[in-house]
Amino acid sequence: MYAELLADPQLHALLLKFDEDLAAECRALGCPRCAGKLHSARYPRKPRGAGAQLPADYGFRFSFCCAIEGCRKRATPASLRYLGRKVYLGAVVVLITAMRCGPTPARLRYLEERFGVSRRTIYRWRIWWSEVLPGTPFWRAAGAAFIPPLDRLQLPAALLERFAGSLRERLLALLRFLAPLTRSEPIAVRAF
């Protein structure tokens, strides 16, 4: 089921549209340092792991740079497509890590063949979900909202289960929840 969702071109088009909307909001706010006008300064990304043909603009991360000489502060909006500097798409990192429950050699081989994700990468993602993310200020604030508390060893699957709707809706809600982690400037955690 997860693999089919990752191969859905409509999901990727929707994530691109959400990122365009987040970029427009960021640009409208102006420079975070001096409130100056922001110019486009998007940069190329090589998105990995998509099981579908991606839209042409998918290979770029939206970002802006202040137009005021002497400031030139970069403003990178939140993203639902990318989890920070990870080269794999955010949906891939979430769903493949969730699929890893009980990683049998056959399951790991399947993930490696289908999405080009090595076993070492999947294990690194497991460490990120179970050790790095729970230690962030974002998680300490946002994770406290879950009652009963989430088992960090079951992330992201336990987190996906807390959101309502179809798998697609739960994935979108989870990516929106994690979006503050993807900005260049940390923001306060909002209620979800």
pLDDT at 117: 85
- The amino acid present at 39, given as its one-letter code, is H
Per the structure, the count of domains in the chain is: 1
pLDDT at res. 184: 65
pLDDT (0 to 100) of residue 57: 82
Q: Round to whole Å and give the CA distance between 142 and 153.
A: 17
Rounded to whole angstroms, the Cα distance separating 179 from 183 reads 7
Nearest to 114 by CA among 3, 188, 12: 3
> Mind listing the pLDDT tens digit of every residue in the chain (192 residues)?
777 888 888 999 999 999 999 999 999 999 999 999 999 999 888 888 876 688 888 889 999 999 999 999 999 999 999 988 778 899 999 988 887 665 577 777 877 888 888 888 888 998 999 999 999 999 999 998 999 999 999 999 999 999 999 999 999 999 999 999 988 665 444 443
* pLDDT for the residue 77: 94
Burial of 121 (0-12, 13-18, 19+ CB in 10 A): buried
Q: Give residue 175's domain range.
A: 2-182
pLDDT value of position 101: 62
Whole-number pLDDT of residue 190: 42
For residue 188, being part of any structural domain is answered with no
142 lies in some domain: yes
Q: Two tokens at 56?
A: 């042409």
Position 189 in a domain: no
pLDDT at 139: 94
Residue 165 falls inside a structural domain: yes
Q: Is residue 148 part of a domain?
A: yes
Give CA–CA dist 7/182, Å, rounded: 23
Cα(121)–Cα(131) distance, rounded to whole angstroms?
A: 15
Rounded Cα–Cα distance for residues 174 and 72 (Å): 32
Q: Is residue 187 part of a domain?
A: no
Please give the pLDDT value at position 99: 79
Residue at 191 is within a domain: no
